[in-house]
Structure formats: C-alpha cells, structure tokens
Structure 1
Amino acid sequence: MKPQKIAVLGPGSWGTALSQVLNDNGHEVRIWGNNPEQITEINEQHTNQRYFKEVILDKKIKAFTNLSEAIDGVDAILFVVPTKVTRLVAKQLAEVLKHKVHILHASKGLEQGTHARISSILEEEIPAEYRGEIVVVSGPSHAEETIVRDITLISAASKNHDEAKYAQNIFSNDYFRLYTNTDVVGVETAGALKNIIAVGAGALHGLGFGDNAKAAIITRGLTEITRLGVAMGAEPLTYSGLSGVGDLIVTGTSVHSRNWRAGDALGRGEKLEDVERNMGMIIEGVSTTKAAYELAQQLNIDMPITETIYKVLYEGLDAKVGILDIMRRETRAENEFTN
C-alpha cells in the first residue's frame, strides 16, 4: 500500500499512540484537537506532556485546530474522541467534508440517552456518499505501552471486509498487529462494556479482595457482556477474541486502565466526583455503566454485576453490600446463560 494521508481526530493518549503507529508505517499523520496549547506543543515541542511525560513524537506528525485544514485531501479519518462528543465532532466533520474517505474509530462507549454505538452515530451524522462502511479499531491495548512500541494485537471490524483490510494494512507492523472481523456489533459492545467490569474489578482491589475475586468478576462479567451483546445482534464467538476477553483482561487487571484506577479509588472510599476530578481524563466506564444498565432494562437482560456497579455509582449503594447481594443470589449451573 502506498503511504496514506490520515487525520486523527483527538489528541488524547490513544489518539497520540495510534498517530505514532501510523507515522511509523510511513503515512502522513495529521492530529486534530480543540486545545490550542496542546496543538502548539505537539507542533513545536513534539510532545504531549499531559499523557506522555518522556515521549518525543516524530516531527513529521502535524497537529491542527482547524478541522478543514486537518482533513484537506486525506484518505482516511480516524475518530479517537470521547463518546460524549462523538456526535458533535461528526456533525462538524460533515459540514466540511468534501470528498469520500475511509472512516475509522478507536473509541469505546455507548452514547448517553440513545445508547447508540459509536459506528451508528457516525453512520447517522456523516453522509454515505462521503464514506465507506465504518471500521472499528478495538482490542486489548494500553496507550502507555503502544507509545513505546510494545507488542499489541487488536481487531479491525467492519461490515465491509475490504474496509477492515484497509485498516489492517495501514496499521500493522512489527509491534502492532490487526486481525479483521465483520462483527461490528460484537467488537464495539465488547470494547464499551468491558469498561464497566474494569471499574468493578478495580473496586474489588480497593476493597482488599484478591485474585480469586478478580477472576470471578472477569469471567462472570464476560458472561454479562456476551449476553447483552448477543441480544443486540452480536456473534457470541467475538467475545472469546481480542476485543472481548482480551480487552477485558488488560483493562480489568492493570493500573494503566483509568477505569480500573477509578474503581480502585471508589473501593478505597473516595467519592465519584473526586475520582473524576483527580483522574483528569474521561472515565468511559462510568457513563457506559448507566447506558448499559438502561439498555439491559429495556431489553430485559439480566446483568447483576452491571446493575450493582450502577447502584454504587449512581444510587450510593455501599460496594460491600453490593458484593454480598451478588454472592447471595440464587445458586445455578455455570453453563446457564445467566448469572
């Protein structure tokens, strides 16, 4: 493949890390963001100190605050913005986009209120004549490790296999490898819902529980994720792959995960508003918990772990009481498709 011109919308940790991957592969990378100081820093200092204290970016990576300039003549546009602003940014893009491009996203969440997946938002807001089928780039990945070129394997999912192959080709190299997938619903829901379980896993750690509890919430959490995803139209096997169990493991066990760190702080008794303020970054698992809880109620899907985390986050339930409530649920066979 010849070098591509690619606009990365979102200069956060993951957007920056993916920009470096694309730059390493010889592509022309343009980062867009709305913080002038951050954009100036990337262009002049070639750093993004808010997220990476000791990383120097290649001088060829350019940053923009003007969206029209950032996307001028590009072959592809990669969304890496928080879920809550995805629709707004997509609307802004639709106003200035004048040619057909590949549209990809690497964010993980469900929209508040509508419970929409991110690819659905992009399909709604970006006219079909200016894009192909959306590509979801998702899987077990910490920006802190990708930025130092640690080995990372993730998925590229699209309803159009050629679009997924495009993503695979522009990203894959000696340390970053993509596998194609056509189950967009599965890959997106796995990436979004695992953040809920990561908050719960962190809370267990903060409360002082050990590896047994960690294994329990990850495995039973995967059951819940699969149950809701399948009800939304996903393929069950997807949740056994990179975007499912792989992403759940990396997010639910690591201090790199802001969702795990948030849960850990909550387990140690900190207030949610303090945790969010001290984190300084979006904790997708908090808002996704609300969306998933509402969606489960709407679809009549049993999700006791998600329901408990929702009550802890939004109704003030004591986490220890919530754990006891789950442990005292009616016993049942493991292979029942319910908790």
Structure 2
Amino acid sequence: MDAVSSTVGVEEEFLLADPQTGAPAAKNEAVARTAEEWGIALQLELTRCQVETSTDVHTRTPELLAQLGRLRREVAACAEENGTRLLAVAVPPTVPGRFPVTDTPRYQRIAEGFGMLAQEQGLCGCHVHVAVPDRETAVQVSNYLRPWLPMFLALTANSAIYRGVETGYASWRSILWRRWPSAGPPPYFRSGDDYDARVAMMLSSGIMLDEKMVYWDVRPSIQWPTVEIRVSDVPLTVEETALLATLVRATVLRARMSLARGVTAPPVAADVLLAAYWKAARTGLDGDAVDPVDGRILPARDLLMELVDHVAPALEELGDHPFVIDTVAAVLKRGNGASRQLAAFRQRGDVGDVVTELANATLDGCRA
C-alpha cells in the first residue's frame, strides 16, 4: 500500500470575539470579505460569530503544519482588520443568550427546523479528511476508527469554560453537539448500502434536512474521496492540530492495512462507546479513560500511548513517528486547551484571563 496516496487535509473552525469583552462578534461576513480580498477562502459557519479555514491536500506533516500556521496568522489579521479577535476555542468562554444565525437560505432553514439547537451553537470543531480509494473503504475504515474517537476527543478537548464559569467538562462542546439527532458516534455499518439506508431513513423522517447534516463523528465525505473525522474540538495550537491530523491519518492507514488482509473491524458495543465518550468529554487527558474495545479503565494518557503504539507501523511508513512522539510529550507536559483554560481561569476567576490565554495560544507557532 502506498502511504503517500493516503493524503490529508484539515478544516478548522474559529470563534470571532470582541477584543475587549471576549464576547462572540457577529462579523463573519465582513471577515470573509476581507479574506477574499487577500486571496484567502473562508467558509461561513452556522452562526455569524464563526469562520472556517481549509488546508490544501498534503502528503507531509511539515507542510501541513506550515499551512495551518499561515492560515491562522492571516485570518487573525483579517479579523483584526474588522475589529475582532480570532480564537481557537470550541465554545465561547462568555456568550450571549442566543447566537445570530448566518443569513444563507440553508442555515435559515436549519434555524427554522431545529429551533434553539441552531441558536445556541457557536461550537468550533476540527475536521480531518484522509483519502481512501472508494466509498466502501471509507465505511469500513469508519468502523475501525470508532473505538479511537473518544481518544481523539480527549486529546483535543478545548471547551472547559462557558458562560463565564467552569463547565466541569474538558469538552463541553462535545456534550452540546450531541444534542443534534444526527451527531455523535456513528453506528457500526456492514456495508456502504447499510450506511446509505440509515441516511435515507433520517432524511425521510426529517431528522436531517440534507446529507450535509450527517453529523456523525466519522463519515464518508459527501464532497471528496475521503473519510472525514469530525469528533474533535478545534485544538488550541497548530501543533496540536497537526498532531491530531497525523494520528488520524496513521489510524486510517492502519485500518486499510487490516482491510487489505481481509480483516474487518470488530463491532464495539454502543453503550460502552458512549461511556468512553462521556469520560473523554469529562476529563480529557487529565483523568481516566474507558477503552471501548474491552471496557478497561486506565489513565487517558496511557490509552493515548497505546494509540501511538497501535499506529506506529503507519507512522514509520509516513515518516511521522518522531514528530508524534515529540509532540505528544509536549502536549502532555503543558496541557491541552482545556487544561490551559482552567489554569488561566483559576488564577483569579476572571474569564478575561482565559480569553487572553486563548488569543495568544491561537497564534503560537504561527509567526511569519
């Protein structure tokens, strides 16, 4: 199997915030216009306080990391040009009662069809696309990825402060996001036809308005020949985003190695998987984790190292093993986004300190 053909691309969602108060700023259209003038393509998200960047397709992690940094730096400048601050955070630390919905026909239909679910969003995630040869492979790879989804969430947890208080969760975004009827861990699918039948049922019942509302945390991409992993909070730093993308890519490659030998993924019980999700959202990297495969309880950091060991053959083939080892050690030493938010907040109980920490860390490693 040619590892280089297993290309990767990343989408990062960001919050636009008022520079003084840290409150969400409904200026995504203005920021996107400025970005377009500068030759940067930004996507508008459901609420007007969010923007999304997309990288090119990459074969090497150093180039991906460089582009992630460049995009953050340039979009932060576009935000500043429009009187806002770019924050890599998965929920706003301080928020209004409702978020204004972006004025596009599709987003307005979602707001009408799903009520307060749409108006209490402002949730920022990170989506990793990894190339696969066909849609059937994407579905089978998704089955392999299911047990590791909680670990990807724990690694990137970055939403511990919301409405000016501690939520008690490392990833409060994950808890809020799963209120959508089409969100969360996907079922185990026997085939692409099985997947299509489940989606058709959800469309015909009105649970989803269109296929773009397949919000499962891993899915075959609607637009590209990729499998798309959507479980993560937007990571606080570009280094953490590159780490996530590299681990996801290696896990996909490892799954394809198994499929090439005729070995399909074993089913994982839905209730155990949900328990693992809750633990990951609750404590991130700083507590215990549930291994969805066998129900073991062990420190999240130990399970993270088991993931690294599991994908080591793929990492070696990709040339990314040293980067992953070094970056995992750095994240475990300084903490992920959730840990850094809590450390900033607990100094004085001032959410402004959290916003400052987020703003500075968003551009860590992004300087020209």
TM-score, length basis structure 2: 0.34
TM-score, length basis structure 1: 0.36
